[in-house]
Structure formats: C-alpha cells, structure tokens
Amino acid sequence: MSPELRIVVLMLHLIAMMFMAAPLYALIAVNERARFTVPPGYNTDRYMENLIKFQPVRCYTYLAVILVTGIMLIWSRGWAWADWALIIKIVVFVALATLLSYVHFGIQPNVERIINKYKAGEEVAAGDKPELVRWRSRRKRLAATCLFLILSSVVMGVRVTMGYAPWLVVVFLVAAAIFAWRAYKTPMRMGWV
C-alpha cells in the first residue's frame, strides 16, 4: 500500500472512531433530560428518543469503516496478529458491536413500545413510568460501558501504533474508566472539567 493510501485509510479510521462518540453525547442528553422538572411525556421524550434510537444504525456504519480500515492498516504495516494490544482491541470491537446490538434490538424496542402508547401532549402513565425508567437506566449504563470500550479501543490502537509502555496503558484505561463513570453520573457542562 502506498504511503498516501495508508494516510487516507488511517484518516478514515480515525474519523470513524471520532464519530463513535455517540455514547458520550447520549449520556449528556440523558443527564440533561434528568434535570427537567417535567415528568416523562410524549413531546420531550419523543424528541429525545428520536435522537437516541437511530444512533446504533450510524454506529454500525462507523464500526464497519473501522473494521475495514483497521484490517487494511494491519495488513499494510505488517503488524503481528499476536500483538496483545491488537488482540485486546479486537475483543473490545466485538464487545462493542455486541452491546450495540443488544441496545438496538433488545432495549430500544421496549422503550419505543412504551412511548408509542402516547400522543403529543400526553404524559406517560404512572403504571408505565417504572418500566420506562428501568429500560432507560439499563440503556444509560450500557452507554457508559460503550464509552469506556471506545476509549479503550483508542488506547489500544495508539498502543499498537506507537508501542508505549504497558503501565501507561493501565493509566490511560483508568482515566477512561473515570471519565466514562463521570459521564454516566453527572451532566458534563464543561467537557473534561
């Protein structure tokens, strides 16, 4: 592969990884929704669900680009498939695709089933609120897990490319876990801070 083509493939790979920030923004949206004093209702919740429910389809597209460009990068650089960081990156990729599928095919249809019972201007009935909250809480936890996996994939990708010390991998993974936990627990009004 020519150096120019490798740069194009790497750029596509990195841009697709950047677009996988969907779990972070889903967590931000959910945490901001929790600050509303308005109870669950069609107008607010339909808007939020429309943003969230199509995100897995976009993520599948980005994952496909990441998979293809990742294989091309491995092939072009002649990296050993036995590299521990590469193996972890592949395991993380599979876990991410699996969790994304569970959210898309398992959780989201249940949220939609509840929301679709209501019309514009209606509040969610008291009997449906606990189930809706349960499904949304599960989705939120998985979004935080996916965010951690995405950050872990980036850490491993840089490790495969640059070969830095394993202790630094641990430091980065701990930082990624703390960031994902913080994004899960609190609204991130100022980004990193």
- pLDDT (mean) for 133-160: 90
Q: What percent of the chain has pLDDT over 90?
A: 30
Query: For residue range 34-88, what is the model confidence (pLDDT) as tens digits?
Result: 677 666 666 777 777 887 888 888 889 989 999 999 888 888 877 666 788 889 9
pLDDT at 38: 65
SS (H, E, C) the chain: CCHHHHHHHHHHHHHHHHHCCHHHHHHHHHHHHHCCCCCCEHHHHHHHHHHHHCHHHHHHHHHHHHHHHHHHHHHHHCCCCCCHHHHHHHHHHHHHHHHHHHHHHHHHHHHHHHHCCCCCCCECCCCCHHHHHHHHHHHHHHHHHHHHHHHHHHHHHHHHHHCCCHHHHHHHHHHHHHHHHHHHHCCCCCCCC
Angle between helices 55-77 and 42-53 (to 10 degrees): 20
Query: For residue range 106-117, what is the model confidence (pLDDT) as tens digits?
Result: 999 999 999 888
pLDDT confidence bin for 91, thresholds 50/70/90: very high
- pLDDT (mean) for 117-144: 87
pLDDT at 101: 94
pLDDT confidence bin for 149, thresholds 50/70/90: very high
Between 33 and 155, the higher pLDDT residue: 155
pLDDT at 193: 60
pLDDT at 169: 94
pLDDT at 39: 65
pLDDT at 80: 67
